[in-house]
Every structure is written in C-alpha cells, then in structure tokens.
Structure 1
Amino acid sequence: MDVLDLARTQFAVTGSLHFLFVVLTLGLAPLVAIMHTRYALTGRPLHERRTRFWGQIYVINYALGIFTGLVMEFQFGLSWSGLSHYAGDVFGAPLAIETLGAFFLESTFLGLWIFGWHRLPKWLHVACIWLVTLTAYASALWIMAANSFLQNPVGAVERGGRLVLTDFGALLTNPALAMSLPHVIGAALWAGGFVMMGASAYHLFRRTADREFFTGSLRFGVIVASVGSLVTVGFGYAQFGMLGQYQPGKFSAEPLAGMGLGLMILIGQTLQLLLAFVLLPAVYWLPRWRWAQPLLMAMTPLPFLAAIFGWLAREVGRQPWLINKRLTVADAMSPGLTPGMVTASLIGFAGVLGLLAVVDYLLIARAVRRGPSSVALGAPGPADPAERAPALSL
C-alpha cells in the first residue's frame, strides 16, 4: 500500500476500535441513570445493587475509552495536518467545545457520582449520574457536528486558501447532523441493551442465586434494545434522501462502502425483526427459557458489528473527499510522510488500542462473571468508627 492507503487504514482501524468504547458508553449511561432514579424513588436494595453493578461496568468502559480517544487526537497532528491548516478554524471549533465544555464536565460529574456514594444527598447523587448522561450526549452532539461538516460542509467560506466559519448555527442545523445524531444514539442504546441482555442471560443460564436481579435486567435490556432498534433503523433509512442531495454516489464510490452498508442493514434489520416479533412479545417469559439464553449471549456482539460497518460506510463512501467537495484526503495528509513512518504509527496505535479493547473486554467479562456480590463501586464502608480497625496506642 502507498502512504495514502496506509494513513486511511490507520484511521479506519483506530476509529473503529475507539467507536466500540463510545457506543457502549452512550448506551449504558442512561440505563444506569434510570436504575439509580428507581432506587432513589423506591429505596429498594435491589435497585441499588443493579445501579452499582451496571454502573461499575460503565465506569470500566469509560475509563479505558478515554485513552483510545487520546490516540485519535494524536492522529490529526501526525497524519492530517492539511485538514487542520485548511479547516481547523471550522472543524476544530466543535471538537474544542466537546473537549472543554462536555468531556471535562462529564468526567467531573462522573467522579462526583463514583465517590459520592453514602456521602452526597440522595437526589444530588442522582443528579450527578443524569448530568454524566447529558454531558456524554452533548459530547456526541459536538463530535457528530464536526463529522457532519465533513459530510456536508455548511456555515463556512474559503478565504485566502482556508475555510472560515461564518455561521456557527449552520453547524448545528446541518441536515447531515439532524439525522445522523439520533441514528448514533439509537445504535448506542441498542448496544447497551444487548450487553445487558447477554450478561443477564449468562447468569440465568448458570442459575445463580441472583435470579430476580438478572430477570429484571434482562427484561429491561430487551425493552431498551427494542427502542434503540426503532430509532436506529428509522433515522438510518431517513438519511438516504439527504444523501442523494449532497453525496449522490456515496455507496458506489468503492466496493467497501457498499459492503459496509449492506452488512449493517443485514444485521440491523435481522435484529430489529427478532426484537419486534420474538424477544419483545416474549419479554415476560424470556428469562425462564433456558434454551434461549445461550442465543442471547451469542448475539451480544452483533450491534457493535453493525455500528462499525455503518461507520465505515459513512466514511469510506465520501472518498476521495475528506471534506466533501472541498478537500481531498490526499491534500489533507501531512507533508513528508513515508510508508515506513505511517506503518510504524499504524502498528503502534493499533497495538495500543487493540490491547485496551482486549483489557476492556476482560475486565467487563470478569465483572459480569463475578456478579453483583463483588461490586466495589458504592460499597459501604464501616457503619461507625467502632467497626474500624483500632489505632495503635503508645
């Protein structure tokens, strides 16, 4: 491969790996917030245990996902300085807002939620996890605003060989954003629901003692996945009309884009029909069907595969443009790159992100396998000073 193909491969690999973390983060955050709200309203220990268990899985994925995001940032400076030079004033604006105004707030509120158990007032603690969810979705908004500008560059004019932002509101009302953001959010809820289904099915199949715990979690996962599937498929098909206006040949530019689209539709449509006509109508009886539980476990990765295929179709179908009709991928590359340099960074970045993905999977799998009885998040400390270890006296 030449240096251009290597650079494209590097971004595709690292972007796909990073997107796996993002999808699960966006999918689990509102589910944990809903469970915590139920606990605050009812005071039932069962809801507290569910909040802590699924919250710990969310925190594991979030913590490791941060590092994958940092690798993505490095690539813009290393491989795509032409993009920063030509469109940094426009493309960089939503990314800067996402980092400063959403990501930092999200991390702050998540820290307050993690360490606020048994310390913060009940409803203030609940507010923290809802603010985590809102800022996570705000991050998704700004990231998709930047990406939608690449698909359909609006609100900017070229002056002196560079793009200048003239209408910030146009970035937020971009037709490419209006349909793609709900599509991504729906896919995230879909993935989060399937993770909850698969983990719950694992424990129900093993016939662990926490049957009530995982029965409710499995049903909740089916309902969330069903809602996510409707949103994803609905807004996915709704995008085709607009794509015909500003990217009419999107899925015929390369064989790869059409293949990604076809696999995404195949997986998504199959799962939606399964949810609508089998799983959702049988949601009450599903936890009792032991024969179905291995199937639910096996289906857990499918929404993630559909998300990756969809992302590839969205990005590859824009070729040869990085900014549609404005800047080609070749012109966006950093000057002076050699195949050896890009190959080395590709191996390094893919190795780091791949390792993080494996560690994330292993940690989540271990947390799921151990069950709610071994959750460290929110574990109460000694009830009073007398229960603590006595201090040494002289």
Structure 2
Amino acid sequence: MDVLDLARTQFAVTGSLHFLFVVLTLGLAPLVAIMHTRWAMSGKPLHEGMTRFWGQLYVINYALGIVTGLVMEFQFGLSWSGLSHYAGDVFGAPLAMETLVAFFLESTFLGLWIFGWGRLPKWAHLACIWLVTLTAYASAFYVMAANSYLQNPVGSVVRDGRMELVDFGALLTNKALVFSFPHVIGAGLFTGAMVLVGASAYQLRRRTDHVEFFTRSMRTGVVVAAIGIFITMGFGYAQFAGVQEGKFDNTTAAVALGFMIEFGQLLALIVLLVMLPLIRVLPRWRWTHPILMVMTPLPFVLAILGWVAREAGRQPWMIWERLSVADAMSPGLTSGMVTASLTGFVAVLGLLAVVDYVLIVRAVRRGPRDLALGATDDETRTPALSY
C-alpha cells in the first residue's frame, strides 16, 4: 500500500472504532433519561434501579469513547493538514462548536448527574441527564455538519487559494445534513434499544430473579428499536434524492451500501412486523431469547457499513469536487510514519473497544445488584434487589 492508501486506511479504521462508541452513546442517553423521568414521576424503586443499571452501562461507554474521539482530532493535523490549510476556516467551525458542546457542556452535565445522586434536588438531577442527551445530540449535529460540508461544500467561497466561510446558516441547513443527521440519530436509538433487548433476553433466559426489571427493559427496548429503525430507514431513503451524480460509483461504497440496505430492510421487517406485535409475550418466550441476543451486534455492523458507504462514496474527493484526497494529505508523510501511527492508534483504540465491551458484558451478567452509580456510603443493598 502507498502512503495515501495507508492514511485513508488509518482514518477509516480509527473512525469506525470511534463510531462504535458514538452510536451506542446516542442510543443509551435518551433511554436512560426516559427511565430517570419515570423514576422522578413515580418514585418506584424499580424505575430507580433501571435508571442506575442502564445508566451505568452508558457511563462506561461514554468514559472510554471520549478518549477515542481525541485520536480523530489528532489525525487532522497529523495526516490531513492539506484539508486544514485549504478549508480549515470552514470545516473547523462546526468542529470547534462540537468540542465546546462535548468537552464542556456534555461532560459537565454528565458529571453533575453522576455525582448528584442524593445531593441535587430531584428535578434538577433529572434535568442534568436530559441536558446530557441534548448536548450529545448537539455534538452529533455539529460533527455531521462538518462531514456534510465535505459531501456538499456550501456557505463558502474560495479566496487566495483557501475556502472562507461566508454563510454559517447555510452550513447548518446543508441538504446533505438535514436528512443524514436524523438518519444517524435513528441508528443510535436502534442500536441502544437493541442492547436493552439483547441484555434483557440474556438475563431472562438464565431465569433471573429480576423478571419484572428485565421484562420492562425488553419492552422498552422493542418500542424504541421500532422507532429507531423506522427513522433510520425513512431518512436513509430520503438522502438519495440529494446525492450528487457520481457518488457511490466505486466498488467499496456500492458493496457497503448494498449490504446496509438489504440487512437494514430485513432487520426492519423483523422489528416492526414480528417483535413489536409480540412485545407482550417476547419476555416469556425463552426460545426467542438466543435470537434476540444474536441480533444485538447487528445494528453496530449496519452503522459501520453506512459510515463506510458515505465516506467511500465521496472518493477521490476529500471535499466534493473542490479538494482531492491526495491534495488533502499532509506533505512529507512516509509509509513508515503512517504505518507506525496506524499500528499505535489501532492498538490503543482496539484495546479500548475490547475493554468497553468486556466491562459492559460483565455489568450485564452481574445484573442490577451492587450498582456503583448512585450508591450511597451507607447503602447495604441496591433497590434492584427488592424486585
């Protein structure tokens, strides 16, 4: 592989690994917020336990995922300084907003939510998790705004060989953004909901003592999965109306797109026409639980296929018909330099991904007992043990 292909591979692999964390964060955040709302309104220990259990999984994924995002930032200066030089004034604007939202607002509100148990007023504590959700979605919006600019460069002009931002509003209303952002949000909801379904199926199949806990969790997951896959499919098809001629012509993009559409349609049929109508009996039908568990990782696979199709479909352009990928690459890079950084990044991000899923699996296997999130110093048992 030449240096350009190595640099592209590096960004593709690290971007895919990072997106695995992102798509689960976007799905779990609103689910935890809904559970916390139920607890705040009802005061039932069951709803508190659900908030703490699924919230703990969210915190694990967020904590490890935030580190992988830093690697993405490094790569723009490391491997793609041509992009920063040519369009940094435009492309960097939404990314700067995303940094402010993610690293300041989202992290602050999440910290208040984590350490606010028993300290903040009930409704202020609830507001924190909803603000975490909203800032997570705002962060995703700005990232997609930056990515959509690469797909369809609007709101800018070329002056003195560089692109300058002249209309920030056009950047935020880009036709490549208005359908792709809801598509990503739907994918996140579907992914997070299927984690609820798969984890609940695992616990119910092993005849857990917390039957009501995981029955309600599974039903919540099925409903949100149906909503998520409906949004994903609807806005996914809507994007084709605005696709520029020539995109998805290369083999990689076409194959990824084909697999995503076919498997996405199949999953949509299963969720909407089988799981949703049988929502009352699925928790009791133990023979279906292995199937639901096998389905759990499929939304992650579809999300990566969608990302690959979107990025590969733009090739050979970094900015559509404005800047080629070759011109966007940093000058002076050698194959050895990129190979070394690729090995290091993949090793670190791969390790973080493994640790993330090991910790999540261990938490799921342990079930709603000995929960660290929200535990008080003198707590001798969690509310979940009384279910």
> Does the TM-score normalized on the shorter chain lie above 0.5?
yes
1:326 aligns with 2:326: no
The Cα of 1:381 is off from its aligned counterpart by 2.4
Q: Identify the residue that residue 126 of structure 1 maps to in structure 2.
A: 126
Equivalent residue runs for 1:60-99 within 5 Å: 60-99=60-99
Q: Identify the residue that residue 351 of structure 1 maps to in structure 2.
A: 347
Q: Identify the residue that residue 256 of structure 1 maps to in structure 2.
A: 252
Alignment-mate amino acid for residue 364 of structure 1: I
Deviations for 1:348-380, whole angstroms, at most 9, x for unmatched residues?
A: 111110000000000000011100112110012
Deviations for 1:96-149, whole angstroms, at most 9, x for unmatched residues?
A: 011013431000000000000011000000000000000000000100000000
Q: Identify the residue that residue 50 of structure 1 maps to in structure 2.
A: 50
Q: Identify the residue that residue 382 of structure 2 maps to in structure 1.
A: none
Q: Identify the residue that residue 27 of structure 2 maps to in structure 1.
A: 27
Equivalent residue runs for 1:99-178 within 5 Å: 99-178=99-178
Deviations for 1:234-260, whole angstroms, at most 9, x for unmatched residues?
A: 0000000100xxx212111x2110010
Q: Distance in 1 between matches of 2:371 and 2:148?
A: 40
Q: Identify the residue that residue 211 of structure 2 maps to in structure 1.
A: 211
Q: Distance in 1 between matches of 2:205 and 2:279?
A: 16
Q: Distance in 2 between matches of 1:197 and 1:160?
A: 55
Q: Distance in 1 between matches of 2:291 and 2:103?
A: 36
Alignment-mate amino acid for residue 177 of structure 2: L
| Structure 1 counterpart SS, 2:321 | coil
Q: Identify the residue that residue 263 of structure 2 maps to in structure 1.
A: 267
Q: Distance in 1 between matches of 2:199 and 2:259?
A: 25
What is the percentage of aligned positions where both structures have the same residue? 74
Q: Identify the residue that residue 9 of structure 2 maps to in structure 1.
A: 9
1:336 aligns with 2:308: no
Q: Distance in 2 between matches of 1:258 and 1:9?
A: 18
Q: Distance in 2 between matches of 1:103 and 1:308?
A: 24
Moved over 3 A (4+): none
Q: Distance in 1 between matches of 2:254 and 2:267?
A: 20
Q: Distance in 1 between matches of 2:299 and 2:247?
A: 23
Q: Identify the residue that residue 191 of structure 1 maps to in structure 2.
A: 191
Q: Distance in 1 between matches of 2:208 and 2:273?
A: 29
Structure 1 residues 96-105 or 51-60, which shifts more? 96-105
Q: Distance in 2 between matches of 1:365 and 1:206?
A: 15
Q: Distance in 1 between matches of 2:102 and 2:48?
A: 27
Q: Identify the residue that residue 390 of structure 1 maps to in structure 2.
A: none
Which structure 1 residue ranges, 5 or more long, are not aligned?
Answer: 384-394
The Cα of 1:83 is off from its aligned counterpart by 0.4
Q: Identify the residue that residue 232 of structure 1 maps to in structure 2.
A: 232
Equivalent residue runs for 1:354-365 within 5 Å: 354-365=350-361
Q: TM-score, normalised by structure 1?
A: 0.95
| Structure 2 counterpart SS, 1:334 | coil
Deviations for 1:29-49, whole angstroms, at most 9, x for unmatched residues?
A: 000000000000000000000
Alignment-mate amino acid for residue 228 of structure 1: G
Which structure 2 residue ranges, 5 or more long, are not aligned?
Answer: 380-387
Equivalent residue runs for 1:265-344 within 5 Å: 265-344=261-340
Alignment-mate amino acid for residue 340 of structure 1: G
Alignment-mate amino acid for residue 333 of structure 2: L
Q: Distance in 2 between matches of 1:56 and 1:102?
A: 19
Q: Distance in 2 between matches of 1:63 and 1:213?
A: 25
Q: Identify the residue that residue 384 of structure 2 maps to in structure 1.
A: none
1:377 aligns with 2:377: no
Q: TM-score, normalised by structure 2?
A: 0.97
Deviations for 1:41-84, whole angstroms, at most 9, x for unmatched residues?
A: 00000000000000000000000001100111110110000000
1:182 aligns with 2:179: no
Q: Identify the residue that residue 386 of structure 1 maps to in structure 2.
A: none
CA contact (8 A) 1:103 1:139 kept: no
Q: Distance in 1 between matches of 2:26 and 2:273?
A: 26
CA RMSD of superposed structures (Å): 1.0
Q: Distance in 2 between matches of 1:288 and 1:69?
A: 40
| Structure 2 counterpart SS, 1:288 | coil
